[in-house]
Amino acid sequence: MVGNDIVDIAQAKKDSNWQRPRFLDKIFTINEQYLIHNSKDKTEMVWRLWSMKEAAYKLCIQLNPNRFYAPRQFKCFIENDAGVVKFKNFSCYTETKTTSDYIISEASLKPSKLSSEIVKFNSLRINNQSEILRRKLILSASKLHHIIEGKLELKKDDYGIPALVVNDNKMHISLTHHGNFGAFAIA
Amino acid sequence: MTNQELIAKLKAIVSPYIQDEEAFKNLSEDTDFVKDLKINSANLVDIILDIEDEFDIRLENEDMEKMLDVKSAMAIVNTKLAG
C-alpha cells in the first residue's frame, strides 16, 4: 500500500498564504512550526510537511477506511528526505522529493524509495487532469503487471479511496494532483 | 439565522476556493467540499479560518475533523453560536 501527495510550489504560493494568522497553528504541531521557522526556505518546509501529512493520511485511510480532516494530528518527524508520520496508533515512513517546481511525498508501511511517476499537465482544467492521470496510471499498471489496459478499471469507494480493479482483484494505488503536476503510485 | 441565510454565508466563504462551478451553482446542504466542489485540502484550512472570522468563533480539532461538507459546517457553526 502507498499514499502520495504532490504540491505545485507556484500554485501553492498563489492559492495559500501560510503566513495568515492561525494558519500554521491549525495544521502543524509546535515541533513542526519550530522546524518551519528554523528553515532556510520556510515555504518549502511548510509544503514538505503538508505533503507528508497528506501522503500519510491517504495511506492511513486505506488501512482504516474513513474520511476526516485532521492534519495537525499527523505528526511529522524528518531526517533529510526521509521521514516518519504518526497518527494515533498508525505510523508510516515517508520519502520526499523536492524540485524547484514541486514537492512530492510518498508514504509506505516500510521504508521505501519514492516510486511515484510524475505527470506534468498542459491543461489546468481539473477534469482533464484527472482523465490524463487515469490514462497514464492504467497504461503504467498494464505494463507493470502484463494486463490488458481494457481490463483495468479505476474505481473510488464511498470514502473516495481509489483502486485499480482487475476482474475482482483490487490493486492499491495512490493518485495526487495539484496545479500543473500530478503523480500516481502503484503499490 | 435561518438555514438559508447560513448556507448563503457559507457559499460566499467557499467561493474563492471552488474548482467545480457546476457543483457550486447547485450548492446545498448535501454538497461535499472535496468530492463535489473539488476544493484543495490545503484550502480547507482557509475555509475553517474564514468561518472562524465570519462568525467570530473558534474551531477545535474535533470540529475540524468533520469539516468536509456543507451539512457538517452548518452543524458546527450552529453548535458554536448556540454555545
Q: pLDDT digits over B18-61, tens only?
A: 999 999 999 999 999 999 999 999 999 999 999 999 999 999 99
Distance between B5 CA and the closest CA of chain A, angstroms: 25
> pLDDT exceeding 90 applies to what percent of chain A?
93
Find the domain containing B67 and state its range.
3-82
Distance between A15 CA and the closest CA of chain B, angstroms: 8
Distance between A19 CA and the closest CA of chain B, angstroms: 11
Please tell me the total count of domains within chain B: 1
Verify whether the Cβ–Cβ distance B48 to A54 is below 8 Å. no
Verify whether the Cβ–Cβ distance A73 to B61 is below 8 Å. yes
**Side-chain half-sphere of A134: how many Cα atoms within 13 Å?**
16
> pLDDT exceeding 90 applies to what percent of chain B?
98
Verify whether the Cβ–Cβ distance A69 to B66 is below 8 Å. yes
Domain at B62, CATH number:
1.10.1200.10
The pLDDT of residue A41 is 97
- Cα distances (angstroms) measured from residue A169 to each of A63, A75, A165, A185: 17, 33, 6, 17
By CA distance, what is A177's nearest residue in B? Answer: B40
Number of A to B CB contacts under 8 A, please give it.
50
Residue B34 near chain A (CB below 8 Å): yes
| CA A179/CA B68 separation, integer angstroms | 21
Q: pLDDT averaged over consecutive 10-residue blocks of chain A (187 residues)?
A: 97 96 97 98 98 98 96 97 97 98 98 97 84 96 95 94 94 96 96
Residue B21 near chain A (CB below 8 Å): no
Distance between B45 CA and the closest CA of chain A, angstroms: 7
The number of angstroms, rounded, from the C-alpha of A43 to the middle of its chain's C-alpha atoms is 18
> How many residues are given for chain A?
187
| CA A154/CA A107 separation, integer angstroms | 21
Give the three cell numbers for residue B83.
Answer: 454555545
Question: What domains are there in chain A, each with its CATH number?
Answer: 3-114 (3.90.470.20), 119-186 (no CATH)
Verify whether the Cβ–Cβ distance B35 to A160 is below 8 Å. yes
* Interface list for chain A against chain B, based on CB atoms closer than 8 Å: 7, 12, 15-16, 20-23, 26-27, 50, 54, 67-73, 126, 160, 178
The pLDDT of residue A125 is 79
By CA distance, what is B33's nearest residue in A? Answer: A69
Tens of pLDDT, residues A149-175: 999 999 999 999 999 999 889 999 999
Complex ipTM value: 0.94
